[in-house]
Amino acid sequence: MKMILQVLTFLLLLSGCSETKEESSPFVYPPEWKPQQAVWMSVNDRWADPENTVVQITARLKLIEALHKYVPVKLLTTSDSLSEAFLSDLVKMSVDTSRITTIIYPEPTYFLRDPGPIFLSNGTDLKMANWLGVDTTEVYTGSSTLRKTVDDSIAVRFGYEIENSPVRYDGGGIDVNNHSAMSIKDYALEHNEGRFTIEEIEKEILRLYGKKQMIWLEGVPLVDTEGLKVENYSKKIFPRQSYYMFNVKRN
């Protein structure tokens, strides 16, 4: 009997250690091929070119038509009327709209990879990485500082913990695999000029995203790098990485 109690005690201790180890797993930014709880997208009807607006909305409808069979979609829209019209079009395409969650956010968010939400996971829970954000007022006419707070707003609405960073970055400026992060050195320095050295930026990226190696691209030869984002080249470096168009985010 004493031996049985000792064995049971050992098993309980072992179980407790396993649970503690699982709970203490670090939060990391997972690569695109990891299992997803949902895919986040954004749609708005405020593109400067009306013809481009139709193209952008149509493309997102087709993308959701393909995605919703495999993963729920969380969709940021700029108004109730746009949400209703968009869902109506999806119904006509025989899309199961019970798998689509619409979230109203008044500021047009063109490319969701940039402002976020950017999710970190420890395998069980989620929290959000929050870069200081890159000023977009010179990029999009009519854009405001409200765009920089989209991740904060989502975190408050859905109760996510936020991991803040003092470094200026857009989410689309970094891509990852299981162990490495990749970005463009000129991009990092341009947005943090006089604030952080490249060594400090690298350390912060690895800390926030839970990675062990940083891969810096020294620009891209024979290519105009204005407005360049690293996702254009990451498939060549991370060949297993799969990308959805239009900068969707996942969690």
C-alpha torsion angle, residues 225, 229, 233, 238 (rounded to 10): 150
Position 28 scores a pLDDT of 95
Is CATH 3.30.200.20 the classification given to domain 39-172+239-250?
no
Nearest to 230 by CA among 144, 162, 172: 172
Residue 73, φ and ψ in degrees, nearest 5: -120, 130
Q: Which residues contact 20 (CB under 8 A, 6 or more apart)?
A: none
Task: Supply the mean pLDDT for the chain.
Answer: 76
Q: For 47-56, what is each residue's pLDDT tens digit?
A: 667 777 888 8
Question: What residues does each domain of the chain span?
Answer: 39-172+239-250
Edge-to-edge order in the sheet of strand 161-164: 118-121, 126-130, 161-164
- Identify residue 17 by its one-letter amino acid code: C
Position 113 scores a pLDDT of 75
Residue 19, φ and ψ in degrees, nearest 5: -65, -40
Question: Using an 8 Å Cβ cutoff, are 92 and 63 in contact?
Answer: no
Q: For 95-154, what is each residue's pLDDT tens digit?
A: 999 999 998 887 766 677 777 788 999 988 999 888 886 654 444 444 444 445 666 678
Q: For 59-100, what is each residue's pLDDT tens digit?
A: 999 999 999 999 999 998 888 888 999 999 999 999 999 999
Q: What tokens does 216 get?
A: 């810096």
CA distance 169 to 115: 9
